[in-house]
């Protein structure tokens, strides 16, 4: 994994702005700590920071290839999981290769197929290819947006990069937000509308989209979409196919020339990845898999079971590590460090995020990076197999809004009356929800309840999963750790998309299909453990810390957030005389996380010198 940056201007000579490219690329040093490179011409400045994972000697970027007088330059962040298959096909078409890197395979794929190359890729990627001869730029992002890619157009310039901070390092891009940007932060945050860059005039290449930019203009194309059709396979064939796709996705993603590990919580999703990886490592390399788990100081004392989090992870982590003989690393986070890292998480994400859910992952990945460069994680299984409560509880399924962020009116109470008079958070959230529902690929003749669940799966894949993938990418890459997500393999997602709900609920259990497909791989007690989400701290010390910090912000007349919020209402929450009273995002993010989010908003406004226009 790496970081990419670029600036294209088809009319003006920009090669004298190499220093600005250097500044943009420098913002990616943590994503790519191992190498840097740049390519300069009159109308294109292309930069790259590299994290070495495959072919240390042959994968340097920007990579240049020439064919029939055309010089092609690629800057690429990602990993292709069908590199060998593509290479064989391209060799049959007459191409020669000079390295073992997937970068070269990707570049030659573009040379062979042009913009249609994305239809041949299996992997996670964000890349740009500049054609010097035709003076054209091609940008593309993987099917579910695992890897980030932002861009902005200013006059004759198109500027792009892996992270928002890259664009903001260019003098043409100002850290300004308008009414829509504020609505993203307060109505939807920490989620974000696909394609919306929050900052004014800044956009994100949407998942499964590409951009072709030349003298004729800029064309945005959706190159892939989920398809809805009648599922014809028997239950036995469905189980077999799911098992095959899960095994194949995981084993493909173990390939690397650097140490690989897995995240292990003892839940179904991470346990399956760890079990398959442990067996593969022992069979092919005769070595132990390294696994990692996270917990918090005091959780053994303060943890309380609830509907969303029925039990804690440590027992199950130990159970799995012993069963599969992994070398396990227990990482325990101090609560003061957890709070202090809220700032680090903002600087990594360039936006307010999932509060301590972000900062804990930032700290977790920082520790893992000391021993490993690549990790596999269990994100996306709940979104595609239906693991969350909102797939099962009728009031959530029929909420007619994003079920992980239902209480928009309560969000309004956090804002000042002046801001509420300008923003209409409920209307904005409703608009984004309804626009997404219109995109859902329908199955003609589907029963109303099944159609509703299809909507829910679509919302989860393109909103909730996107939020978790953004979190995973920014918090891990801030330490130069590449995290892969096997359940996000597009072949698996497409197949499961059309499986009827009663099969997904095999045995009348949430994710019953996945459990049954993995039977024989995991011990039964692990296989049928009730879902438990990513762990949060239950230690009151953390809540005390964020309360004190938020009160300091409220008492500081220079704090930029003060102009936006209802000071008395937020003060009541910070002082504990009023409680938000319910999760404000996701399953577990309640009052402590709301306070931490407001702290992050203030940090963001300060550190990025954000102007409201």
Q: Which of 276, 361, 262, 271 is nearest to 316 (CA)?
A: 271
Beta strands at 123-131 and 136-141: parallel, antiparallel or unpaired = antiparallel
In the structure, how many helices (H) and strands (E) does the chain have?
Answer: 25, 19
**Contacts of residue 105, Cβ cutoff 8 Å, sequence gap at least 6:** 80, 83, 86, 87, 90, 97
Contact 406, 399 (CB under 8 A): yes
SS3 160: strand
Q: Which of 374, 402, 449 is nearest to 585 (CA)?
A: 402
Please tell me which residue in 2, 117, 261, 380 is annotated as part of the active site: 2
Is residue 294 reached through a cis peptide bond, with omega within 30 degrees of 0 on the bond before it?
no
Quick one: CA torsion of 602, 605, 611, 613, rounded to 10 degrees? -50
117 an active-site residue? no
Residue 172's Cβ-count burial label (10 Å; 0-12, 13-18, 19+) is middle
Q: How far is residue 314's CA from residue 302's CA, in Å, rounded to a whole number?
A: 14
Q: How far is residue 53's CA from residue 34's CA, in Å, rounded to a whole number?
A: 10
Q: How far is residue 446's CA from residue 227's CA, in Å, rounded to a whole number?
A: 14
**Contacts of residue 319, Cβ cutoff 8 Å, sequence gap at least 6:** 266, 523, 525, 526
Q: How far is residue 45's CA from residue 437's CA, in Å, rounded to a whole number?
A: 39
SS3 329: strand
Q: How far is residue 34's CA from residue 26's CA, in Å, rounded to a whole number?
A: 12
Contact 137, 213 (CB under 8 A): yes
Cα angle value 248/251/256 (rounded, 5°): 140
Based on C-alpha coordinates, what's the Rg of the chain? 24
φ, ψ for residue 33, nearest 5 deg = -80, -5
Contact 371, 290 (CB under 8 A): yes
Contact 482, 375 (CB under 8 A): yes
Cα dihedral 276, 282, 283, 284 sign:
positive
Quick one: CA torsion of 473, 476, 480, 483, rounded to 10 degrees? -70
Q: Which of 145, 203, 167 is nearest to 472 (CA)?
A: 145
Helical H runs in 423-488? 425-439, 448-459, 465-477
| Residues noted as catalytic | 2
């Amino acid at each position: 994994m790496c970081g990419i940056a670029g600036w294209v201007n088809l009319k003006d000579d920009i090669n004298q702005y190499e220093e600005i490219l250097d500044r943009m690329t420098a913002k990616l040093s943590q994503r790519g700590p191992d190498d840097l490179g740049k390519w300069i011409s009159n109308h294109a400045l292309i930069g790259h920071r590299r994290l070495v994972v495959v072919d240390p000697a042959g994968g340097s970027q920007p990579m240049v290839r020439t064919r029939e007088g055309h010089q092609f330059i690629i800057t690429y962040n990602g990993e292709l999981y069908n590199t060998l298959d593509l290479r064989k096909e391209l060799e049959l078409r007459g191409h020669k290769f000079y390295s073992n890197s997937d970068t070269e395979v990707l570049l030659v794929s573009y040379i062979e197929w042009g913009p249609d190359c994305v239809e041949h890729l299996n992997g996670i990627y964000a890349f740009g290819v500049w054609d010097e001869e035709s003076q054209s730029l091609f940008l593309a992002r993987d099917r579910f947006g695992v890897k980030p890619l932002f861009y902005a157009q200013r006059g004759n310039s198109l500027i792009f990069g892996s992270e928002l901070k890259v664009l903001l390092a260019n003098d043409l891009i100002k850290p300004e937000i308008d009414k829509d940007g504020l609505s993203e932060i307060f109505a939807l945050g920490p989620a974000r509308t696909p394609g919306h860059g929050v900052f004014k005039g800044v956009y994100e290449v949407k998942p499964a989209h590409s951009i072709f930019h030349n003298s004729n203009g800029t064309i945005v194309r959706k190159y892939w979409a989920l398809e809805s059709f009648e599922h014809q396979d028997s239950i036995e064939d469905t189980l077999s196919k799911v098992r095959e796709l899960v095994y194949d996705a995981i084993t493909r993603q173990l390939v690397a020339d650097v140490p690989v590990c897995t995240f292990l919580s003892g839940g179904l999703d991470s346990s399956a990845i760890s079990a398959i990886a442990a067996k593969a490592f022992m069979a092919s390399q005769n070595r132990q898999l390294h696994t990692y788990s996270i917990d918090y100081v005091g959780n053994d004392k303060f943890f309380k079971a609830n509907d969303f989090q029925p039990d804690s992870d440590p027992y199950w982590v130990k159970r799995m590590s012993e069963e599969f003989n992994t070398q396990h690393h227990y990482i325990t986070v101090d609560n003061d460090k957890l709070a202090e890292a809220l700032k680090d998480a903002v600087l990594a994400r360039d936006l307010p995020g999932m509060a301590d859910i972000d900062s804990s992952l930032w700290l977790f990945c920082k520790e893992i990076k000391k021993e490993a460069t690549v990790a596999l994680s269990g994100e996306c299984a709940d979104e595609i197999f239906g693991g969350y409560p909102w797939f099962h509880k009728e009031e959530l399924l029929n909420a007619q809004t994003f079920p992980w962020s239902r209480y928009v009116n309560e969000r309004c109470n956090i804002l000042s009356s002046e801001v509420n008079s300008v923003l209409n958070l409920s209307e904005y959230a409703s608009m984004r929800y309804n626009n997404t529902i219109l995109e859902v690929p329908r199955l003609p003749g589907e029963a109303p309840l099944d159609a509703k669940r299809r909507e829910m799966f679509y919302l989860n894949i393109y909103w909730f999963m996107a939020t978790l993938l953004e979190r995973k990418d920014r918090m891990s890459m801030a330490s130069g750790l590449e995290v892969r997500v096997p359940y996000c393999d597009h072949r698996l997602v497409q197949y499961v998309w059309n499986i009827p709900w009663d099969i997904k609920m095999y045995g009348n259990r949430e994710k019953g299909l996945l459990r049954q497909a993995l039977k024989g791989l995991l011990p039964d007690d692990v296989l049928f453990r009730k879902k438990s989400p990513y762990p949060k701290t239950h230690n009151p010390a953390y809540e005390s810390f964020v309360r004190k910090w938020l009160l300091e912000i409220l008492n500081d007349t220079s704090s930029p957030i003060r102009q936006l919020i209802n000071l008395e209402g937020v003060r009541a929450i910070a002082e504990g005389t009023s409680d938000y009273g319910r999760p404000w995002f996701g399953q577990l993010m309640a009052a402590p996380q709301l306070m931490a989010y407001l702290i992050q908003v203030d940090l963001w406004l300060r550190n990025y010198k954000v102007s409201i226009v």
